[in-house]
Amino acid sequence: MSEEIRFFEVGPRDGLQNEKTILEPASRVEMVEGLVAAGVEDIEIGSFVHPKWVPQMKGTDEVAQKIERKEGVRYWALVPNRKGLKRAMDVGVDHVAVFMSATESHNKKNLNRTREQSLHELGEVIGEARSQGLVVRAYVSTAFGCPFEGEVDFQEVLRIGEELLDSGAEHLSLGDTIGVGSPPEIAEGCRRALQAFGVEKVALHLHDTQGLALANALVAYQQGVRLFDGAVGGMGGCPYAPGAAGNVASEDMINLFRQMDTSVGIKAEAICEVAEWLRDELGFRISGRYCDYWRAHRESGDE
């Protein structure tokens, strides 16, 4: 198995969308460019949802137009439907993400649709995106636990994932949306997904509700997962998932894999600098641990 990790930074979308303080587009551009300067090559710059539902994402069009795009970096954006897809294409976004839930209750709460309705609509969105030369990743939320239904039948996760891949998605990002997955559950789910779809098709999106996100990342890596999501500073949550904590902190996950001599290609220290800037801008608490370690060594002069 390849030792190289492909890391997706989702802070500018999944992180910011749950913050009470709204970061203006110009500052979001600065955030994106700072993360790219740290070495991030897959970054979600925002979402093309109606600002009535997610006001923090207002102005994603402006962000997409104003970022200085760096060669070799894939700039992703979340699109909820064909209208969102058109907005993304109009501003030159060529990597998009679609999303739905593994459970009926969460899908209805989040998207006001049944899962079958979502699968049909997303099939059309993915097909249109692919016909225009775009690359698509697909999120499957609540893959390891649901705030409304509790335990999730992982066979349903695989069924939904297979349909999304068959529609043309490049890969799936399986979400522990409320952070209830245990290491054995994450390991087993990842093993089954990898067996069904292959290593290039499976990503893992972890939230750190119980402080188990890094342990879950480690066991997923041991099973063979090589695609991981994270958010700078451990930002985020889910407005439609009661009890969800933030994403696993990007800098913590990058440090974990670096300590294992695994190639990530991102500077955790530079991610910490962006996290501290965001803390000052938004007043949020950095939930990861590596920033504390880095700050202590920086202040002591022992970097």
**What angle do helix axes 183-197 and 154-167 make, rounded to 10 degrees?**
40
Please list the active-site residues: 238
Structure tokens at 11: 């802070």
Contact at 8 Å (CB) between 193 and 172?
Answer: yes
Contact at 8 Å (CB) between 204 and 177?
Answer: no
Contact at 8 Å (CB) between 250 and 9?
Answer: yes
User: 37: closest CA among 226, 276, 269?
Assistant: 269
Give the dihedral sign, CA 164/263/94/35. positive
Task: Tell me the residue length of the chain.
Answer: 303
Contact at 8 Å (CB) between 102 and 141?
Answer: yes
Instruction: Give the residue ranges of DSSP H helices in the chain.
Output: 25-37, 60-66, 82-90, 104-111, 115-131, 154-167, 183-197, 213-223, 250-259, 268-282, 290-299
